[in-house]
Structure 1
Amino acid sequence: MTPVLNISTYLFVPIPDAAQLRDVLHERAIHANLKGTILIAEEGINMFLAGDADVVRGFVTELKKDERFASLEPKESWSDHQPFRKMLVKVKNEIIRMNMPTIRPSSGRAPAVAPETLRRWLEAGHDDAGRPVVTLDTRNDFEVDQGTFENAIDWRITKFTEFPQALSAHKTEFEGKTVVSFCTGGIRCEKAAILMQNEGIENVYQLEGGILKYFELTDGAHYNGGCFVFDQREVLGVDLDAVPLVHGNAPVDADKAPD
């Protein structure tokens, strides 16, 4: 059986022609027999695609010919079956909904920490400046239940729009510490890190590439369990292969991108 290549990637970049781009990408994806979800908004693009490896990579290569998307860096994993049931290309108000229009990652990111560096910090128990390091899980509660970093902060939010209020209630807990926000692939923790900076938290990083990149580039140390993904595989282990759900509490429509 030929393995199926799965990719996830996103980029915050202004897309004033979101509706027109939606039509182009939908036609291109259907013609290529790809399945998955592409979300487009004025603030950027978020893609989850699966199919023949050459076709998937070719789709990305063609998209990157548009200079706006030249820096896309998909995260890859494999499955023995097609994990999506259909191909959806949608125009949204936000590619990841936070309901805070002042948070504009395309205007400037918060600092990012590489997976290898975070692993080293967690091993040492502090960052390179000697500050204690805490990890902040920005995902929804049912995702956290499948796995997270050891001793990660988990505010049990049920959707990302709850994150700003949770931060407001807890931000004083980060004084004197370095906080690393993380999520599945980087998109939520990127907005979260900017918000934390805006709220006056001094030593803030986002985990570059999220949990999936951490799995890809490290041995997964200091992470317990798997990572929930929004397709029919549901949970990936440190080796990026599918593993069983810890609890049977996945969304009814697992093909839906995170909210």
Structure 2
Amino acid sequence: MSKTVKKILGFYKFVKINDTQRLKKDIFTHLRDWDILGTVILAPEGINVNICGDSDKIKLTRSFLLKRLKISKIISNEDNIEEMAFTKLKVKVKKEIIKLGLTLKNDEIFEDEHVNPKEWDKIIDSETIILDTRNKFEYLMGSFRNSVNLDLYNFSDLENKISDLPINNKSDNIAIFCTGGIRCEKASIILKKFGHQNILQLKGGILNYLREYPDSDKWQGECFVFDDRITY
């Protein structure tokens, strides 16, 4: 008897949420009843989702979440896997969906900053400054060729690290990346705070890039993800 195909779904969305506690209850009930495991983080600024379950149930859950949040468009990372990637179900309410001490509004997301993997592949070979916004552990496991390590222990240290960057020309092109894209949304705001304006983000993060270019020699090492997988 063949195993049921599992699917892992990851996405984030900055969208105003007024009643986080009620939404938490609704989402937890749905995921529990559908045997879906993983973590969902809710905050007044939006939602951050990393879940796994039977492929057909994940597809329906994706539709449920978009309808419940009244949104029509997300950038998601989805992969078929053989086993469950998570062992528990957690739905949490926090002040931010990614901790930085900065609440982001949807109108502060600039989609024209997002570049697809094909465009990113060309950027790596240009004079653009490439910033890795992940922590030092993730960077040491693997990163893009010629990327700058910010030496982060926690993402909340980002502002201090960016203020120390030896980039004198504020008009220099800066391209930033992280695992799935969420950290870059806030990193972009911090960079602009320090006067940097020409900023590009890797759409869908490293996971999206490696899905399209799994054998790229521009990625060196492994990609750490927050479940049982290591993406090469």
Q: CA deviation at 1:67?
A: 5.5
- Does structure 1 residue 224 correspond to structure 2 residue 226? no
Query: What CA distance in whole angstroms lies between the structure 2 residues aligned with 1:53 and 1:201?
Result: 42
Q: Which residue of structure 2 aligns with residue 253 of structure 1?
A: none
Answer yes or no: is the 8 Å Cα contact 2:37–2:53 preserved in 1: yes
Q: CA deviation at 1:185?
A: 0.2
Query: What CA distance in whole angstroms lies between the structure 1 residues aligned with 2:142 and 2:93?
Result: 31
Q: Which residue of structure 1 aligns with residue 210 of structure 2?
A: 215
Q: Which residue of structure 1 aligns with residue 91 of structure 2?
A: 89
Q: CA deviation at 1:221?
A: 4.0
Secondary structure at the residue paired with 1:170? Answer: coil
- Does structure 1 residue 28 correspond to structure 2 residue 24? no
* Number of aligned residue pairs: 227
Query: What CA distance in whole angstroms lies between the structure 2 residues aligned with 1:152 and 1:105?
Result: 28
Query: What CA distance in whole angstroms lies between the structure 1 residues aligned with 2:213 and 2:122?
Result: 10
- Does structure 1 residue 7 correspond to structure 2 residue 9? yes
- Does structure 1 residue 153 correspond to structure 2 residue 148? yes
Deviates further, 173-182 or 46-55: 173-182
The runs of 5 or more residues in structure 1 that have no matched partner are: 127-131, 238-259
- Does structure 1 residue 170 correspond to structure 2 residue 165? yes
User: Residue 79 and residue 100 in structure 1: after superposition, are their counterparts in 2 closer, same or farther (change >3 A)?
Assistant: same
User: Residue 87 and residue 141 in structure 1: after superposition, are their counterparts in 2 closer, same or farther (change >3 A)?
Assistant: same
User: Residue 216 and residue 84 in structure 1: after superposition, are their counterparts in 2 closer, same or farther (change >3 A)?
Assistant: same
Please tell me the residue identity of whatever aligns with 1:151: N
Please give the per-residue CA displacement for 1:164-202, whole angstroms capped at 9, x wherever unaligned: 000011163564531111100000011101211222112
Q: Which residue of structure 2 aligns with residue 72 of structure 1?
A: 74
Q: CA deviation at 1:100?
A: 2.5
Secondary structure at the residue paired with 1:38? Answer: strand
Answer yes or no: is the 8 Å Cα contact 1:98–1:160 preserved in 2: yes
Please give the per-residue CA displacement for 1:126-178, whole angstroms capped at 9, x wherever unaligned: 2xxxxx21210111111112110001110211110000000011163564531
Q: CA deviation at 1:205?
A: 1.2
Q: CA deviation at 1:105?
A: 4.2
Deviates further, 55-64 or 210-219: 210-219
Q: Which residue of structure 1 aligns with residue 177 of structure 2?
A: 182
Q: CA deviation at 1:93?
A: 0.5
Deviates further, 39-48 or 174-183: 174-183
Q: Which residue of structure 2 aligns with residue 116 of structure 1?
A: 118
Q: Which residue of structure 2 aligns with residue 251 of structure 1?
A: none
Secondary structure at the residue paired with 1:65? Answer: helix
Answer yes or no: is the 8 Å Cα contact 2:38–2:86 preserved in 1: yes
Choose from 196, 200, 208 the match for 1:201. 196
Q: Which residue of structure 2 aligns with residue 50 of structure 1?
A: 52
| Identity in percent | 31
Answer yes or no: is the 8 Å Cα contact 2:138–2:223 preserved in 1: yes
Q: What pairs with 1:89-108 in structure 2 (closer than 5 Å)?
A: 89-101=91-103, 104-108=104-108
User: Residue 174 and residue 46 in structure 1: after superposition, are their counterparts in 2 closer, same or farther (change >3 A)?
Assistant: farther
Q: Which residue of structure 2 aligns with residue 236 of structure 1?
A: 231
User: Residue 41 and residue 171 in structure 1: after superposition, are their counterparts in 2 closer, same or farther (change >3 A)?
Assistant: farther
Q: Which residue of structure 2 aligns with residue 63 of structure 1?
A: 65
Please give the per-residue CA displacement for 1:225-256, whole angstroms capped at 9, x wherever unaligned: 121111122x212xxxxxxxxxxxxxxxxxxx
Deviates further, 78-87 or 66-75: 66-75
Please tell me the residue identity of whatever aligns with 1:218: Y
Q: What do you get for the CA RMSD once the two structures are aligned?
A: 1.6
